[in-house]
Structure 1
Amino acid sequence: MRWFIVKEGSSPETLSLGEFLRARRERLTPEDVGLPFYGRRRTPGLRREEVAQMAHIGTSWYTSLEQGRVSNPSDQVLDSLAIALRLSSGERRHLYTLARPVERELVHASQEVTLGLERTVLALDPNPALVLGSSWDMLLWNKAAELVFRLPAFTKDRVLKPNWLRRFLTDSETRRNNPDWEAKAQVMIARFRADYAYFQQDSRFNELIEELLRTSEAFREHWPKHDVQITVDCHKRWTNPSIGEMEFEYVTLQQPDHPGIKIVIYTASPATGLRLKDLLEM
């Protein structure tokens, strides 16, 4: 059985896989996995040999995996590591994505918004809707999104696209209007980390990471933790000082032929929809 390939160098993908494994190992304690505890340790988390033993693989090979010197681990090995490291379903999916880098064509997939998608998003008013590129650059948004999220008026001629994550992390008014901003920032960074697994060769993505490491304290704190969260449909409620309390059902959609593009829709409750409709007609 072929379990892995050992490479002389390390690629960004294998390094990211190794960093993720290390972060997940260091967050666990012996008590978490049923191992005996013999007092405080010099370094946080489990030892590499403990993870290797629980995953039924060699310690030297697991060490090479963490150090980015191994690629293409088998599904059997990935499953064993997911169990040993107590990964959630989202983290397990992330592990597989890191271990199976996407084709280069996906990285360079078109970020153009089709006419049909444009008309669909604009027609969703008074429900806020926007289209995000692979690195969360905002490619399109409707009038309701402009109102709810204080966005500039959309124009196709805009050269520099606003970025959804940068705006949330660095805009002072956004922070003031969100009492639970810290928790939301942590979730958004974890979702951004999950998306990054698909686009590690994307220069725009990497430039944004470098920028946010310089400009955002929250990003500097949470990005190295390698926490991931898969975007799911959910209920959202918050209060906007100029609009009042708002309530939405949040969904994210992707087109099969444009995997680098996300359509984000906030479907308003009846009361919220009526209020937004009145404001948009003023």
Structure 2
Amino acid sequence: MTTVAPESDMRRHELAEFLRSRRERITPEQVGLVRGRRRRTPGLRREEVAQLAAVGVTWYTWLEQAREIQVSPQVLDALARALLLDRSERAHLFALAGGVDPAPLTPCPSVTPALRAMLDQLDPIPAAVQNSRYDILAYNRTYGRLLCDLDRVAPEDRNCMWLAFTDPDWRDAVVELPESNRLMAAKFRASMAEHLAEPAWKALLARLETASPEFREVWARHEVVGQGGKSKYIRNRHVGLLHLEHTNLWLGPAAGPRLVTYVPLDEETRGRLERLRSLSPVPA
């Protein structure tokens, strides 16, 4: 009688083989280690990977032996860095381990080439793709200059929550900033209910609480508001006051990514958006 191993066992053995194969392909010189004369192991030794990832040697050995142990997302992140994994390999590592990647730069499968083309076609209407954590995944040139110069913002900081509470240019552009930020925090709390245990959400929350007394005060209210569009005013530093309708077009489940647009509500605003597009470089 043939028996089939449980899926968890198969995943552990596949993870063990994957780690071993990646360890063996890296030379000591690639990670700043001295090769030495007595090296017989192809690539790195297990203790060297453990040292680079700041984990215990015994624990890492058990991982390569496919033992049933728990692996946190933070440790997976450290191993991915130590083993010089590219994006595809990193995603494979987290998939095998059943973990959620805490890195904010994980590519979003919803941002397809067709959707990027749509963003460009919407110009001069500011448009962007955001996920439920408010990460800005893609944007057109007018959106890139609407509230701040997004091209100058580090990719890991392109998050509306982070910018609204910490970026001076973004904050200057938002008319009625206190009320706007209060509502954004309430929407963020509502969205986070489905992601309380996910490292990326917890990491963003910790950053905001550390960096912004304003956020700490607003967050302590425990307000909750659902997603929805509304009209708003934005004071753009290049073209002046804009009257816009903020809309969301969901690209999947309500908890997933969405297309965000700012439609002009009067001809003066439309003309100013045209001027803003002419001033804006194409985003990278």
Scaled by the length of structure 2, the TM-score of the pair is 0.55
Task: Give 3-state SS (helix, strand or coil) of 1:198's partner.
Answer: coil
Secondary structure at 2:248 match in 1? strand
- Give the conservation status (yes or no) of the 8 Å contact 1:110–1:260: no
Cα deviations by residue, 1:227-252 (Å, 9 ceiling, x for unpaired): 01112121122333431221111111
Q: How does 1:243-282 map to 2 (within 5 A)?
A: 243-256=239-252, 259-269=255-265, 270-282=267-279
Q: Is 1:128 paired with 2:111?
A: no
Q: Would the alpha carbon gap of residues 179 and 281 (structure 1) be closer, same or farther in structure 2, given more than 3 Å must change?
A: closer
| 1:225 equivalent in alignment to 2:221 | yes
Give 5+ residue unaligned stretches, structure 2: 1-97, 280-284
> What is the number of equivalent residue pairs in this alignment?
175
- Aligned equivalents of 2:108, 2:173: Cα separation in 1: 31
Q: Is the contact between residue 132 and residue 261 of structure 1 (CA under 8 Å) also seen in structure 2?
A: yes
State the match for 1:149 in structure 2.
147
2:273 counterpart SS class: helix
Asked which structure has the greater CA Rg, the reply is 2
Q: Distance in 1 between matches of 2:245 and 2:172?
A: 23
Q: 1:201 to 1:251 in 2, by over 3 A?
A: same
Deviation per CA, 1:65-115, whole angstroms, max 9, x where unpaired? xxxxxxxxxxxxxxxxxxxxxxxxxxxxxxxxxxxxxxxx9x889823112
Note if contact 1:111-1:260 (Cα within 8 Å) is conserved in structure 2. no
Matched, 1:118 2:130: no
Shift of 1:216: 0.9
Q: Structure 1 residue aligned with 2:135, among 125, 134, 137?
A: 137
> How high is the TM-score relative to the length of structure 1?
0.56
How far residue 258 of structure 1 moved from its aligned partner, in angstroms, is: 8.6
CA distances 1:174-224 after superposition (whole Å, capped 9, x unpaired): 333445211111111001111111222321111000111111112111212
Tell me the SS of whatever aligns to 1:247: strand
Identity over aligned pairs, percent: 26
What is the DSSP-based 3-state SS (H/G/I as helix, E as strand, rest coil) of the residue aligned with 2:220?
A: helix
- C-alpha separation between the residues in 2 aligned to 1:188 and 1:217? 16
Q: 2:194 aligns with which of 192, 195, 198?
A: 198
Q: Does 1:186 align with 2:182?
A: yes
Q: Distance in 2 between matches of 1:152 and 1:237?
A: 19
- What pairs with 1:60-99 in structure 2 (closer than 5 Å)? none
Higher relative contact order (CA 8 A, sep 6+): 1
- Cα deviation, 1:133-191, whole Å, max 9, x if unaligned, reads 23211110111111212233399xx7535111100100123333445211111111001
C-alpha distance in structure 2 between counterparts of 1:161 and 1:144, whole Å: 19
Q: Contact between 2:173 and 2:234, CA under 8 Å: does it hold in 1?
A: no
Give the CA RMSD over aligned residues: 2.7
Return the alpha-carbon distance in structure 1 between the equivalents of residues 194 and 112 of structure 2: 22
Closer/same/farther in 2, CA of residues 199 and 180 from structure 1, 3 Å limit: same
The answer as to whether partners of 2:148 and 2:169 remain within 8 angstroms in 1 is no
For the 8 Å contact 2:229–2:246, the answer to whether it is kept is yes
The alpha-carbon distance between structure 1 residues 229 and 197, as it changes in their structure 2 partners (threshold 3 A), is: same
Task: Summarize the Cα distance change of 1:178–1:213 in structure 2 as closer, same or farther, 3 Å threshold.
Answer: same
Query: Residues 129, 192 of structure 1: CA spacing in aligned structure 2 closer, same or farther, 3 A cutoff?
Result: same
Mapped partners of 1:255, 1:141: distance in 2: 15
Taking a change above 3 Å as real, the CA distance of residues 182 and 195 of structure 1, as seen in their structure-2 partners, is same
Runs of 4+ residues deviating >6 angstroms: 107-110
Maintained 8 Å contact 1:141/1:154:
no
How far, CA to CA, are the matches of 2:234 and 2:112 in structure 1? 32
